[in-house]
Amino acid sequence: MSSHKYLHTTDSVTVVLLDRPYTVSNAHPRYSEIMRALIGGADPNTLLEIINSEGKRVMDLINKSVRGRNLTGVLTYDEGVILYNGAPLFNAAAEKLCQLIMMGHDAGALSKFVENQQLNPDQEVIDNLYQFLEYGNIPLTMDGHFLAYKAVRADYKDCRSGVFLNSVGQTVSMDRDDVDRDRDNTCSRGLHICSYAYLPHFSQGGHVMICKVHPRDVVAIPTDYNNTKMRVCSYTVVGEVTSYYQRDEDVLSRDRLAEERWEVRYNEQDNSDELYDTYYTKDEAIAQALALKEDSLTPINTWVKDNRTDKEIPV
């Protein structure tokens, strides 16, 4: 059991070493090694050496190992840069994609999203779309689209005009030129979808639908309401949140960035249940759980948990 005082979250770990706190992000190239040493009770000097030294050398090795890696037909990772048809991309989604690759996570869904996002004709949308997804806990699908909410009337028609039918399976679209692209205009022309936080602004008693949107079809992300809604020119209704008005449940927040999200969990002799990290596929989580169990200096139990269904599998 570790003798160190530390606080572990899904994004970082904070540990007190030699009377000084250190916070290490899970993007650190030796994060897994740091966690194993911490759990195993390594001495403070050893931990500090891992945290502070060789970071650049390890990162260089990671970059070299995936240099020129083809992500999609037009997307490539090369030494910490995402290239689209050979040209470097500098936006939030590309930066996040680099992080996933360097951490060894499954980057398939985000790779497709970055490729699809480049098809949007509006650079302002490209620059701001991923921040909207992050802020609103909006998930990606494996083909690089994203899912969002839409509140509709009791007859499944849209709340604003009552013209568009939004039952499951319907694709709703309009000419892109008819959608207001000015971010400073709030309730204006276009097809409206939103994150979970914006749903209470709609009237009660209708239906809450789940819409699948291609990144190219986003037209404007209004600056009001903290970037929780957007105007698009097309979406497909893929589901309904039948429990929303009864339980007020954010069903999409469990599916961040992929259709799989498995957690690695462990407990030690004190029988405390600790979260080790979050991974996007079942195989990744099992591999990490096995490595954690093998490298631990004290006996621990490990298992993986599906964040969507709460299913647990001992490892």
Q: 203 in a domain, yes or no?
A: yes
Compare 104 and 267 and report the one with higher pLDDT: 267
- Per the structure, the count of domains in the chain is 3
Number of residues that make up the chain: 315
For residues 251-259, give the mean pLDDT.
55
Q: 71 in a domain, yes or no?
A: yes
Q: 5 in a domain, yes or no?
A: no
**242 and 265 part of one domain:** no
Domain of 145 in residue numbering reads as 139-247
Q: 309 in a domain, yes or no?
A: yes
**241 and 272 part of one domain:** no
Q: Nearest 5°: CA angle at 172, between 157 and 149?
A: 70
pLDDT at 182: 84
- Range list of H helices, 104-231: 108-117, 123-135
Beta bridge partners of 140: 146
The per-residue pLDDT for range 141-169, each reduced to its tens digit, is 888 999 899 999 989 998 877 788 998 88
Are the beta carbons of 232 and 181 closer than 8 angstroms?
no
Given 58, 85, 117, which residue is the final one in a domain?
A: 117
> 78 vs 26, 30, 60, 102, 131, CA distance in Å?
21, 20, 11, 11, 23
**221 and 269 part of one domain:** no
Q: 125 in a domain, yes or no?
A: no
Phi, psi of 50 (to 5 degrees): -65, -40
CA–CA gap between residue 290 and residue 177 (Å, rounded)? 53
Q: Which helix (H) or strand (E) holds 305?
A: strand 301-306
pLDDT at 145: 92
pTM of the complete model: 0.62
Q: 216 in a domain, yes or no?
A: yes
**198 and 223 part of one domain:** yes
Q: Which helix (H) or strand (E) holds 159?
A: none
Which of the four pLDDT bands, split at 50, 70 and 90, describes residue 123?
very high
Q: 7 in a domain, yes or no?
A: no
